[in-house]
Chains A and B, each alone.
Chain A
Amino acid sequence: MRDLELNMVFDPSEVLRPSSFQDAVETLDSSDSKIVAGNTSLYSLARKGRLENIKKLVDISKLGISYIKEAESQTSEEKKILVGAGTTFQEITSSSLINGRPEYAGLKEALNKSPPQIRNVATIGGSICSAVSFYDLPIVLFALGTTLKFFSKKEGEHLITIDSFFQNPALYGKSLLIECQFSSSPNSASSFVKLCRRMSGYAVAMTAARIKLDRTSREIDDIRLVIGAMTKTPQRLNQVEEELRHKEPSIETITRMCEKSADLVHDIIPSVHASTAYKKRVLPILLREAITTAVERATER
């Protein structure tokens, strides 16, 4: 066993402040560099001994990627919001583009779960790139079908889906996340449900849903369901989505489909205070709550 104190060894010798994306990704070429954004998880990673080789910290605060705005070309059907990767939780939650909009209600719920100390510094990009299953925000972004704009040395600016990212986050270690894009459409809404042992604690289990209802039939036109803190990385529940798509969102149907969900997720991992069995039991309940809430919100629009 490694000594606890030795695991704390973390000795960066340089803090770099690149002024262009190109400069930033140049620094990421070497294995001893690490991006710092909100700086909320760096210390805990260091204490866990995961930054022993890191010598250069790359501060991306000068890259001008703190913003939240609507995309210029908008259709009446779909409104796209662009959020710079360096935008803090607080900036997002206080934005008029997010507030009061049912399609982003889940986002707001997830952001508000963090205490102010985190909200004021943590960034949307940092929460995604940390690629852990127990952060709240990425679960909702995943459910929203966010598109991620990366910058890499090889490809320059390029877009990938958040689905692709979470399939193998390690692939993007040398790239710089610069923007998150998500869209809303009429009759859509999102929700976020978290089960935790204390208000500001990490989730024992959580779910996020984004639902679009058909304008005329009021059936579920599109649905994205994501679970967090249950498996190693956030996971989409494709099968449950498939079962619910084009169905009338009655409570009976939702409940029936959700009950199947526990059997469809095979790699649920326990946490310190919750066994796999418990997580399996609460998964359908959280999922049902997330879906019904999103449906209610979409119906009210």
Chain B
Amino acid sequence: MSSTSQEQNLLFKEKTLVGVPLQKVDSILKVTGKALYTKDVRLPDMLHAKIKRCPYPHARILSIDTSKAEQIPGVRAIVTGKDFPVQQNEDTPAVAFSEALYANQAVVAVAADQRRTSELALEMIFVEYEPLPWVTDPEIAMTPGKTPTKIVHPSETWYEDPNVGRHIKIRKGDASASFKECDRVIEEKYTTGMVSHFQLEPVTFVAQPDPDGGVSVWATSSGPHKTQYELSRYLGMDADKIRAKVPFLGGWFGSKEECHVAAICAKLALKADRPVKLELSREETLTATGQRHPSVITVKDGINKGGKIVARQIRAIFNGGAYSSLGNNVVINAVLGAVSVYDIPNFHMDCYRVYTNEQPGTPMRGPIGFQIAWAIECQMERIANELGMDPVEFRLKNVLKEGSENAIGELMESISHDKVLEQVTSAMKLNGQGKSSIPQDSTQENKWVRGRGVALSAKWAPGGSPHQAMVRVKESGKVEVWVDVVENGQGIYTGITQIVASEFGIPSTDILLMPLVFGSDSSMSGLSGGASASRQLVNLGNAVLEASSNAKKLMAERASKKLGVPSHDLDVREGRVFSKTDFRRSLKISELFLRAPIVGYRTVASFTEGVEFVGYGTFYFRQGKLDPETGMTIGGRISPFYMSTAQIAEVSVNVETGQVRVEKIVAAADVGVAINPDLAKGQIVGSVCMAMGAATSEELVFKDGKIINANLADYEIPSIFDVPLVIPILVENPLQNGPFGAKSAGEPSMFPTAPAIRNAIHDALGIWVNDLPITSERVLEALQKLREN
């Protein structure tokens, strides 16, 4: 059935597109190659920029000689740290000023007529460095007397000596005292490596000087307003003179919060007074832009005889790299991840984000939560095993229940921890959970052993950023939607279209989503926090619903006189304004418009007297703070809601080589209400595949302070041949304040995959692997250890 006829049938019956698996509104554009990406932007007289980067993990810049490069014909602009208003001490500067703090940090940038000329110019720029001591191990970096260097950013308000960018404390109850009274105390250390988002589209910017002295920037960014305001800070320019546009994104996953790169591009354009394109190569994207924070997390638990966790103490250290970028903010997610699943009366946590001489840690799909979920769910399995308890039963015994309070004082509402666990266990449980139930190869020579493992997590959706929307109802009954909404492949254009279409009771083809036409543009839409933190659908969805409601009110007021019905009794649906109590009293939307000649007498256009039928909406969740000493929330919640997610993985492990083959993953996620079930399932499957890569094969490896595998051959992301059977299960527990009850699906399913795989490996072979990625070598080492013991 075609999408349109499918829609018509459903509209006829339900008058809503919520829950309809519509084809993505942008799919035709993408498969025909018509969708515009930043890389496609070509402007007249456009220059091409390249960046010269520091070869040392830490070095003082003694001199930069650009004189020879300046003489090369075609070189139009060169920028160094001195070109930016705030230079020294800036956290995450556009270009290094006096010191470069990580290998491949930008030191000089050139814009020239041809890309090749820019490359040649880089060769003719001479930078003199004094190599300085460097540190990449966060545990050493944060230890007084041990760290060889201090990476100080005085502008960071949370700085603690030495090299701690942020330290968050949670103190609920008395964990230390409780341990003494517990029957069992189990302490383990877990680590994760540096992982890349590896989005298909590398970081790219195009900047064009505007006639008013401002600048327009096309950006691979998660939100035009983010880029606009960040650029304002970097350039020292009034934000109103900066126009940021985000066309389609070729994947994001948190990777493109690189406004310091946008600043280089914009500065070059302003200096050359010509448009400039700056495209980072794959190597630059891997070595010089932010990646997922590596982590070292120690979890200590005290458990009583019945299997209840009485006390938990977590020390989580995140390698933040040389700068904060967004890192010192998002590290709070460690807390949200740690408190969102289990009900533990005595809970202590110390979470550190530590500066080192690596590229800055940045948000990545479920930022920080991925690492915390890894540690906690590995630990949960460990405890269940030591207690001899069923891992699902043990988790259920300890989960937070609906209406209970988490360790930072938030009320847990609309959670489905029990439900997602039940769903995955019943989907996977053919003969009971665990190795004994899995058919094993009966041949003696078979070296592949199967196992199953479970993990449970929850994702938050931090508020903090306002989201605004505007809708305009046309004479035809079609509805224009003006929002800063960023389509990175997740399907948000379709989601927003379905929400507005449902609100007006019209087909999706009657929704004119303007970012689909122009891209998302800071000068054409209200403020938005963009595509991040599992909040775009909820926040923008609520904003467009409010905007739609306000546009309807204006129409009702106008129609009220004509129909002789009070405006509060009127609603607008299916192209008509009608009385809610007497459907016969209605008029077409077109009857609210006047028509007048616009070109001679032949061409007429419609208009409204007085205000247009334009509605505005703003959704703003005012976020509270954590008390610096206790970690309890002050002034409101941190996360307005949480989303439960659980998975069971089935793996085969080769006992001789340590190879792990992920065979199957059942993944359940509470999405509230699935606006588009196919897209929601797609998000679950995509998350699982991405997390599986981080679990089994992906890691950026450092040697002498530099990454040595910044290419597709050595940084191994799973291909389609490696992807297991993934069975997504949507659990629908409507969110009271969500648009039509929707929550989110983009990030939560990232969390349980890695621990579920690891727990399945334990089920298969009885070994514990506490470090990510789970390489064959690590599996074999663990097996060796097991055999020796």
Contact = CB atoms under 8 A, between A and B. Distances in A.
Given A197-B776, A198-B697, A198-B718, A4 B656 contact: no
B188 interface: no
Interface in B420-468: none
Nearest to B659: A195
A201 B717 CA distance: 9
Interface residues of B, number: 38
16 contacts: A3-B52, A3-B123, A4-B281, A4-B284, A47-B283, A197-B716, A198-B721, A198-B722, A199-B721, A201-B697, A273-B697, A273-B777, A275-B777, A281-B780, A282-B656, A285-B656
Of the listed residues A44, A201, A286, the one surrounded by the most CB atoms of chain B closer than 10 A to its CB is A201
B701 A273 contact: yes
Contacts of B709: 272
A275 B778 CA distance: 11
Contacts of A115: 719, 721
Interface SS of B by simple majority: loop
Interface string A171-199: 00000000000000000000000010111
Interface of A: 1, 3-6, 8-9, 11, 44, 47, 115, 195, 197-202, 204, 271-275, 278, 281-282, 285-286
Nearest to A251: B445
Interface in B744-789: 775-777, 780
Interface SS of A by simple majority: loop
Given A282-B656, A282-B657, A6 B104 contact: no
Given A195-B657, A198-B716, A273-B775, A6 B123 contact: yes
A47 B286 CA distance: 15
B350 interface: no
B160 interface: no
B699 interface: yes
A4 B776 contact: no
B53 interface: yes
B119 interface: yes
A278 B777 contact: yes
A289 B51 CA distance: 49
Interface in B255-299: 281, 283-284, 287
A143 B709 CA distance: 30
Nearest to A6: B123
B244 interface: no
Contacts of B657: 195, 282, 285-286
A183 B721 CA distance: 33
B161 interface: no
A273 B699 contact: yes
A197 B697 contact: yes
B55 A1 contact: yes
A12 to B, nearest CB: 13
B50 interface: yes
Contacts of A282: 656-657, 776, 780
Nearest to A273: B775
A47 B696 CA distance: 27
B122 interface: yes
A47 B714 CA distance: 14
A134 B122 CA distance: 34
Nearest to B284: A4
Contacts of A286: 657
Given A115-B721, A197-B716, A198-B721, 12 more contacts: A3-B53, A3-B122, A4-B283, A5-B284, A6-B119, A6-B123, A44-B713, A272-B701, A272-B709, A273-B699, A273-B714, A273-B775
Interface string B692-717: 00001101010000101101011011
A230 to B, nearest CB: 14
B104 A4 contact: yes
A197 B718 CA distance: 9
Contacts of A278: 776-777, 780
Sorted from nearest, which 10 A-B pairs have the closest CB atoms?
A1-B55, A199-B721, A278-B777, A272-B709, A285-B656, A197-B697, A198-B722, A272-B714, A200-B719, A197-B716
B126 to A, nearest CB: 12
Contacts of A47: 283, 711
A294 to B, nearest CB: 16
B119 A274 contact: no
Interface string B709-751: 1010110111101100000000000000000000000000000
Contacts of A5: 50-51, 119, 122, 281, 284
Contacts of B780: 278, 281-282
A268 to B, nearest CB: 14
A271 B708 CA distance: 10
Interface string B33-76: 00000000000000000111101100000000000000000000
Of the listed residues B53, B701, B716, B780, the one surrounded by the most CB atoms of chain A closer than 10 A to its CB is B716
B77 to A, nearest CB: 17
A275 B701 CA distance: 13
Contacts of B50: 5
A199 B776 contact: no
Nearest to A7: B283
A214 to B, nearest CB: 25
Interface string B562-605: 00000000000000000000000000000000000000000000
Nearest to A4: B283
A4 B287 contact: yes
Nearest to A200: B719
Contacts of A9: 119
A47 B712 CA distance: 12
B656 A199 contact: no
Nearest to A286: B657
A8 B710 CA distance: 14
Contact of A199 (B116, B119, B696, B719): B719
Nearest to B717: A198
Nearest to A195: B657
A9 B591 CA distance: 65
Contacts of B697: 197-198, 201, 273
Contacts of B717: 198
Contacts of B775: 197, 273-274
B122 A6 contact: yes
Of the listed residues B51, B657, B696, B721, the one surrounded by the most CB atoms of chain A closer than 10 A to its CB is B657
Contacts of B776: 195, 197, 204, 274, 278, 282
A197 B281 CA distance: 25
A44 B710 CA distance: 12
B198 to A, nearest CB: 13
Contacts of A3: 52-53, 55, 122-123
Interface string B476-489: 00000000000000
A92 B337 CA distance: 53
Nearest to B50: A5
Contacts of A274: 775-777
Contacts of A202: 713-714
A172 B471 CA distance: 70
B129 to A, nearest CB: 10
Contacts of A273: 697, 699, 701, 714, 716, 775, 777
A50 to B, nearest CB: 14
A200 B287 CA distance: 24
Nearest to A202: B713
A16 B175 CA distance: 75
A198 B709 CA distance: 16
A115 B722 CA distance: 12
Nearest to B103: A1
Contacts of B56: 1
B14 to A, nearest CB: 44
Contacts of A199: 719, 721-722
